[in-house]
Structure 1
């Protein structure tokens, strides 16, 4: 075995090397001359030299390497240069001694965890103390002089994602969990934690103690947040929050820089960011070398803020020099514009742009004066020459709309509260929403609702007129479906079949027409009215004497429909339209020549009726409605797009892709919540069909319950406290366990069955538990 030698010189440039396999974790020795890379298929030590990384040792030895070499995490002891610890995916915790003379450097093996070990951590000052956190929800403290763990800590959670010893408090360590909680433990008390608080809405993947400030703890989670907590007070306080663009996998404080920390993402984003927590909206520096997800980051030395080491799934190991990092602030636009919900307009610009004299258009400008306490005042720190990052100063101006201005959002609130999206038939919903839009002086939206009602709803009371009778049969297509000649020939044949049976009625009707009608216009009117074969004598009499016969829509002049030549042949005709014999209105000798006129009149008039026939498939209107919804959404009126989408339901939902629907829903829900329209927002979520929207009501509420006896948090989901073993939800009136609806007072925390509490508070205002508190039921 070749003895390893230390390298006296350390490289001072950005460099990288290719690895044999993707890396899962990275750690550096105390004097920053060597770095260890660990993964599922790699476990090597590299030296840092002037010419680059040099492989020193391969710890995966043996013909058949076991799963103990499959590492999820690795830690190099900062006091003992030859001591390493790894967390294996099979639940093993392994320590490695590089000073062993044989090829196999494995020293101790702990197999007490039942699932994957996510994190291992050495005590910063105690040589023989090692801490581990596993997927099984337990943390174990090992004394390396013994063959088993000395303490076991139960977090009462799904899994432990990270554990870190405090840099300042000897007995304290922090643990982050899958359920979003962070716990502080004292290694002398393994029975229960000292503190617990909810840090993130989702798993907390990492945490890191500040090297200088005693009580600062940084955490990162799946919610794309990096939060800094102050533990020095009695109550845990969030002091900084940084919003990233992906789940945070690792977080490391930068040495010698109090407000700087580095992060990398678990997926999607491959870059490494250095943040100044005082400016959380744009990274202080960015390293963009990796081509796949970064899995491990570590500062090269605890007193060197200028070099960062990283490993990635792209099988590369990088040393990043800080001065080579890209500077997002240099590419950021120092000018911005924002339009407020209530008509206010705000913009920020460089101070050099604000020194110009005001123009005519600047009337009404209200800049933030230095002494006006109504507006926030922005302070900029003095530029640090050593950081080489430019400081950009800008001024903020606001244009405020006048009271009662037309650009207000009252219409949005009134529309959201007045619209009906469910609970009534489709036609009534459309009619109600049309009236609401009309009252709010939104004619375009009102017309849209009316057209939707006409296109997608069935007629309420079909008339006995010729148009409705033919529509009900459903056998007559549009005018352009087949030639008028074929339609006329079909009815012509049926006229011949029934001519002998109705000859007497024909002559009688003609005599009546000659006596009562004097003009050609009246004759044209009779042709239109009696062109339907289904009307019998009673119908003819009622129509002639009905006031509706005198309405303008039936007064069609004869000249508007020119006659065509007589049809000699009889082409194939469609199926009969009616089963009843026609009632001709001309003589038998003129039936063939005159039958075209009423048919043409009927066909041209009935186009509008056929378009809105309930027998047309909904797909006929779907492209137009889809285009209309996209138009409203592009114009910013997501309220109209979402409302129509909910009311139409399955009629249009399949025509629009789910991602677009989700985008509309999220935009509308965000607007509703900004205006505190919680009930409307909840109704929209409930009526949506997108999976990502429906789950919002299921994940947005968290209820933390404490035991009414011992006042400690309840971790289980039953009715018995796991600490004092007493029933937590006992009714203060009947003293039985409440297994259904439980109502309690937020002032004294006592409660019980809903019915019992209602009856009690009708008679007395004092708490039924006898605590003397004045409870109020609302």
Structure 2
């Protein structure tokens, strides 16, 4: 299956499958390439007949990321260029349930904890900070400082409660423990230039991936991060998004400013597939946790694709 949805004068920034429904996903998008204008949050259902919008939420600033709640199938959190994060309810189209605004600059990324902290969200911003939120409250719980540049991404560990990673324009990958807000528990000088994305391996709690403007994806064992354990080279331009497969421990996907999505075998340190169906930067990327080998991506060409890749159940060098 290969389905396409046009975001209609909105440039795609992020796409996320629902953790509850195999046919549902959300897309955060912006007018004018996110430089100016408004944003739209699309909630979409996929069927053999195509992709149809269930709900479209409009916001007065660009939307850069979205995440589904882990404790309510109708709740999403998005973040925007006005420094806010918004809590949306699919069943209530009139507007956000809550707007939380403490960041002083654009918010690039949001992530919802997948461990036992059911209400906890982190946000990463151009103001060089990461904030921890309980969305049932009206103020942030903690602010994490230390990066010297824009924080492009922050993501919770799917294995260890209270642990999350962040990457920044300062070239570092950092690990933070929410119980230790004054300093990070690990600092890794991961890339020479800006780092735009990271993700945790779903099968090894010690492995985290990073991708930067150098076009390289690296994996790190956080117990001994002096050297990367793997380097994946093949993108011509910056790596914008990394997603570790929820089904195969050795498979990682990435999207890039070179208009492509690539599938990588980490064990063989090689690219096993290149997907070329965009004509602009590919920003959003996600695996469907319910459907093996199904992915979605979105880009600045106003297109969102849902598609199935070949199965990659065995490492390529075995």
Q: What is the TM-score normalised by the length of structure 2?
A: 0.91
* Residue number in structure 2 paired with 1:279: 268
Structure 2: where are the runs of 5+ without partners?
Answer: 31-38
The structure in which a higher percent of residues are helix is 1
Q: Cα RMSD over matched residues? A: 2.0
* Residue number in structure 1 paired with 2:3: 15
1:323-348 per-residue CA deviation (whole Å, 9 max, x = no partner) reads 3xxxxxxxxxxxxxxxxxxxxxxxxx
* Residue number in structure 1 paired with 2:63: 71
**CA offset at residue 99 of structure 1?**
3.3
* Residue number in structure 1 paired with 2:13: 24
Question: Equivalent of 1:111, from 85, 101, 118?
Answer: 101
**3-state SS of 2:271 partner:** coil
The answer to whether residue 129 in structure 2 is matched with residue 138 in structure 1 is: yes
* Residue number in structure 1 paired with 2:51: 53
Question: Equivalent of 1:238, from 219, 223, 228?
Answer: 228
**CA offset at residue 78 of structure 1?**
3.3
The structure in which a higher percent of residues are strand is 2
1:463-510 per-residue CA deviation (whole Å, 9 max, x = no partner) reads xxxxxxxxxxxxxxxxxxxxxxxxxxxxxxxxxxxxxxxxxxxxxxxx
Distance 2:42 2:98 in 1: 18
Which residues of 2 match residues 271-670 of structure 1 at below 5 A? 271-280=260-269, 282-301=270-289, 303-323=290-310, 387=312
* Residue number in structure 2 paired with 1:332: none
Contact 1:91 1:117 in 2 (8 A): yes
Contact 1:182 1:199 in 2 (8 A): yes
* Residue number in structure 1 paired with 2:34: none
**CA offset at residue 236 of structure 1?**
4.9
Distance 2:141 2:317 in 1: 54
Distance 1:253 1:140 in 2: 24
* Residue number in structure 1 paired with 2:194: 203
1:637-663 per-residue CA deviation (whole Å, 9 max, x = no partner) reads xxxxxxxxxxxxxxxxxxxxxxxxxxx
**CA offset at residue 183 of structure 1?**
1.0
* Residue number in structure 1 paired with 2:176: 185
Change beyond 3 A, Cα 1:392–1:214: closer
**CA offset at residue 58 of structure 1?**
1.3
* Residue number in structure 2 paired with 1:270: 259
Structure index of larger Rg: 1
Distance 2:243 2:184 in 1: 24
Which residues of 2 match residues 722-737 of structure 1 at below 5 A? none
Question: Equivalent of 2:24, from 34, 43, 46?
Answer: 34
Change beyond 3 A, Cα 1:205–1:166: same
Q: What is the TM-score normalised by the length of structure 1?
A: 0.38
**3-state SS of 2:268 partner:** coil
* Residue number in structure 1 paired with 2:85: 93
Distance 1:387 1:193 in 2: 35
**3-state SS of 1:99 partner:** coil
Change beyond 3 A, Cα 1:148–1:86: same
Contact 1:270 1:291 in 2 (8 A): yes
**CA offset at residue 129 of structure 1?**
0.7
Contact 1:24 1:38 in 2 (8 A): yes
Distance 1:293 1:235 in 2: 31
* Residue number in structure 2 paired with 1:217: 208
Distance 1:242 1:35 in 2: 28
**CA offset at residue 23 of structure 1?**
1.0
Structure 1: where are the runs of 5+ without partners?
Answer: 1-12, 324-385, 394-778
The answer to whether residue 35 in structure 2 is matched with residue 43 in structure 1 is: no
Question: Equivalent of 1:260, from 227, 251, 257?
Answer: 251
Distance 2:73 2:109 in 1: 20
**3-state SS of 1:59 partner:** strand
Contact 1:23 1:42 in 2 (8 A): no
Distance 1:135 1:315 in 2: 24
